[in-house]
Amino acid sequence: MRVSVPSYHEFIWPTLEVLRAQGGSATNAELLSLVPQSMGLSEAVQEVPHGDGPMSEVAYRLHWARSYLKKDGAATNSERGVWSLTDKGRRMSLAQAQELRRRVRSLGRKPSRAKTDEESDEAGIEPETIDEALGWKDELLGAMRRMPPAAFERLCQQLLREAGFTRVEVTGRLGDGGIDGLGVLRVNLLSFQVLFQCKRYTDAVGPGTVRDFRGAMIGRADKGLILTTGRFTANAIGEALCDLMKDLRLGVKVEMVERVTIEAERLEGF
């Protein structure tokens, strides 16, 4: 049975409501969790994948809703993935939110050929407002999925070391409950032995995999990590592994370009 996902513009008003409920700001992860919840979307709807990538269709359409809010001047986002309402967003009514799509589309170029409603809407957004994760993360995930299993395990081993783990070992063996290795994480005065599992998945990691992993941990460690190129559930962000590799500059080169914009209207308020 085909599961229907609401169109992206149906996420605009719920996103505004969630941002207001959260005091005017929220992270991408919080929005991905709270907006579908406020809309009453079932788990089956939230787990529909977007194409072949790790992103869910709900996450993809929520991304477009945020982009439209930004283009309309109702919300802004920081480099740390925090979205916040502007004065316009705080004052926006339901009727104004329902007209937002039309306002933003009128700013963009008209499509040169017949397109679907979703394609036409995307044409109204400037490329720089689209989360760059839709490009580089897919490329990075594809490269990792093409790696041999042993190579991917070694990559995860280095990734954990870069993230602060010590004594990281790859121990993957058949019949070991899916455990691929272990490491020690020190937090202030405490040290934890953490078991990890590496999954080069395209789709979501199912509950059975998590249950088996948890069972294999009994008596061996209190904490575990599953590193995957896929997704977990609707409340998890599938590309989290990409973000971690980007932050640690592991297989990812980041070039920063400074762009200074004067916000004269803000200065006038002092």
Residue 263 counted as domain residue? no
Position 26, amino acid: A
Q: Which of 101, 130, 159 is the last residue of a domain?
A: 130
195: which 2 tokens? 């078991």
18: which 2 tokens? 């969630």
CB-based contacts of 190: which residues, under 8 Å, 6+ apart? none
pLDDT tens digits in sequence order for the chain, 270 residues long: 577 899 989 999 999 999 999 999 998 888 988 999 999 998 888 888 887 766 788 988 999 999 999 999 999 988 777 899 999 999 999 999 999 888 888 875 444 444 444 444 444 444 334 444 456 777 787 888 888 888 888 888 888 888 888 988 888 654 556 788 888 888 887 888 888 888 887 777 777 777 788 788 888 887 888 888 877 654 444 345 776 777 788 888 877 777 777 666 655 555
Residue 161 and residue 71 share a domain: no
Residue 154 and residue 223 share a domain: yes
CB-based contacts of 157: which residues, under 8 Å, 6+ apart? 168, 169, 170, 181
By three-state DSSP, how is residue 49 classified? Answer: strand
Task: Assess contact for 62 and 8: CB atoms under 8 A.
Answer: yes
Residue 270 counted as domain residue? no
Residue 205 and residue 118 share a domain: no
Residue 126 and residue 13 share a domain: yes
Provide the pLDDT for residue 235: 41
pTM: 0.54
CB-based contacts of 263: which residues, under 8 Å, 6+ apart? none
The rounded distance, in Å, linking the Cα atoms of 131 and 239 is: 12
